[in-house]
Amino acid sequence: MVIAGAGPAGAALALLLARQGVAITLVEASPSSARQFRGEALMPSGLAALAAMGLLPLDEAIRQRPLQGWGFWANGQLLFQVAEPMGGERPCTLVDQEALLIWLQEQVRLQPTARVVKGRPIVAPLRDGERVVGVELDDGTQVRGELVVACDGRASLLRQKSGLALSPLGEPLDVRWFRLSSAAAEPVADWLQGRFVTVLGGGDSFALYASVYGGVQLGWLKDPAGAIPATSADWRERWAQASPSELAKRLRAVPLEAIQGPVRLPVQVGRLETWWQPGLLLLGDAAHPMSPLRAQGINMALRDALVAARKLLPVLGQGNPDALDRALAAISEERLLEIRPIQAGQAQELGRAQLLRHNNWLRQLLVASAGWSGPLLAQRWQASQVLLRQGSATADVSLPDAAMMG
Ligand SMILES: Cc1cc2nc3c(=O)[nH]c(=O)nc-3n(C[C@H](O)[C@H](O)[C@H](O)COP(=O)(O)OP(=O)(O)OC[C@H]3O[C@@H](n4cnc5c(N)ncnc54)[C@H](O)[C@@H]3O)c2cc1C
C-alpha cells in the first residue's frame, strides 16, 4: 500500500502497519522534515495515542518539556491562570515535532517491509475504473498498492484530484507566527515561566510560549483582511501595548533582528463527511483541517493513524477489496465521532476569544471584576477544556497488544 505524506498521520500509520509486516511505501514530497515553524504542543489526547502505539516515553533525543500552565491577560491585567496538568494524568507537553517525525521515519525505514521515498511529490492518483490503485510521482514513477492513504495535509492534492469536497466550517482566519530568537528572548521566556500565555488588548490577540526549539514562539490572530503593521518595530510595539507592564518592558527590549517571521498560516477549518473512496482513505489534516486553537492537529492526526491501523490490519493483504472498503467506511465513521465535537469545541473557544478581542467594554468588565470573577472564569474554562485536552471519552485509542509491541 501507499501512504502519501510523512507528517504525524502518515509517519505514525506507516510505522504501525510496517511493524506488523505490511508492505508499505511512504512517499513524502519534501526532502527534509525541517520547517521554519512547526506545531509542538501535544495534548494528553495525543500523548495517549503515542502511549497506545508503544512510543512513550519518547526517545530521549526528542526534546520535550511539559507545559506549566495557561494564563490569560486582558488590557494588561491578569484574568486567570490554570496550572497543568489540570487534574489529568499527563500535562500538555511541548515536543520537538521535527525530531519526532525524523525519528518516526527512521523507525519506518528499519522495517523490512517498508520503503520510504523522500523529496518526490505525488502528482496524481492512479485509477482502475472507480478504484484508486496507486499514485504517480513527479518523475513519472508509478507506485501501486491495494490502498492509498492520503496524509498529505490541509491542501491535500489527493483530496483535490479525487473530487472530494471539504465542507468549510466557520470564517477563515489568519495566524501570523513569529519567533523571538533564543538569547534575545530569554527575559520574555523567564516571564512566561513555562506557561502558554494569551494576551488580549486594543483589538489584538496573540499567544506566546517558550518553544522547545529555543526562543519564544508567538502567534498573532488576525482577520484575513486584517493587515499587520509594516515594520518589526511596529509589531513589537503593538504586542507591548496589549501586554501587562512587565511583559511589555521585556518585549520592547527584544532586538528587532531577533524577531523572525511572520509566517502566515491561513486557516480554513473544514471537514470531509466521507473520508474514503474505493481504494483511497484520507486522514489527518487532509480529511479535517483543524483550527490552531488549543493545538489539536497533531493530536487528532495521531489518533486517526491509530484507529486506521487497528481497522486495516485485519483486512490488508486479504485480496478482498469489499472488506477493505468496508474498513475504510468504518474508519471514517469512527473518527468523525471525535472530530465533529473537537472542531465544535475549537469553534466555541474561538468565539469566546473573538468576543473578548472585539469588545473593550467586556474586557474592562472582566478586568474590573477579576478579583472575584477570575477563579470562577478559571473553573469554567478548565471545565470547557476537558474534550480538547483528553479527546472524546468514547474514542477507542487502543491497539491489539501485538500491534502495539511491533
Ligand atoms: C505554525 C503551526 C503551528 C501548529 N501548532 C500545532 C500544535 O502546537 N499542536 C498541534 O496539535 N497542531 C499544531 N499545528 C497543526 C499541525 O501541525 C497539523 O494539524 C498536523 O501536522 C497535521 O498532520 P498531518 O500528518 O495530517 O499533515 P501534515 O503535518 O501537514 O503533513 C503532511 C505531509 O504531506 C506532505 N505532502 C504534501 N503534499 C504531498 C504530495 N503531493 N506528495 C507527497 N507528500 C506530500 C507534506 O510535505 C507533509 O510532510 C500547527 C500547524 C502550524 C502550521
Q: Each residue of 100-119: pLDDT tens digit?
A: 999 999 999 999 999 999 99
pLDDT number for residue 253: 97
User: Does one domain contain both 196 and 111?
Assistant: no
What's the gap in Å between 284 CA and the centre of ligand 1?
8
Residue at which a domain ends, from 235, 267, 299: 267
pLDDT of residue 206: 95
In this predicted structure, what is the pLDDT of residue 174?
Answer: 86
Whole-number Å distance, alpha carbon 285 to ligand 1 midpoint, is: 7
Residues spanned by the domain of 242: 173-267
Quote the CA–CA distance of 336 and 287 in Å, as a whole number.
10
- Its pTM stands at 0.96
Strand 64-66 versus strand 93-95 pairing type: antiparallel
For residue 40 and ligand 1, the question of a CB distance below 6 A is answered with: yes
Total domains, the chain: 2
Do residues 287 and 360 both lie within one domain?
yes
Same domain? 358 vs 211: no
Q: Cα separation of 133 and 128, whole Å?
A: 6
Domain's final residue, options 267, 302, 321: 267
Q: Is any atom of ligand 1 closer than 6 Å to the C-beta of 285?
A: yes
Hey, whose CA ends up nearest to atom 7 of ligand 1?
Answer: 39
Residue nearest to atom 49 of ligand 1 (CA): 7
C-alpha 39 to ligand 1 mean position (Å): 8
- Residue 403 counted as domain residue: no
pLDDT value of residue 204: 86
| Whether the CB of 4 sits within 6 Å of ligand 1 | yes
Same domain assignment for residues 202 and 158: no
pLDDT tens per residue, range 134-164: 999 999 999 999 999 999 999 999 999 999 9
What does the buried/exposed string (b/e) look like for 212-250 if buried means 16 or more CB atoms within 10 Å of the residue's CB? bbbbbbbbbbbeeeeebeeebeebbebbbebbbeebbeb
Which residue out of 175, 298, 299, 339 has the highest number of ligand 1 atoms within 8 Å of its CB and is therefore the one to mutate? 298
User: What residues in the chain have per-residue pLDDT under 50?
Assistant: 405-406
Write down the pLDDT at residue 404. Answer: 56
Q: Assign residue 85 the CATH number of its domain.
A: 3.50.50.60
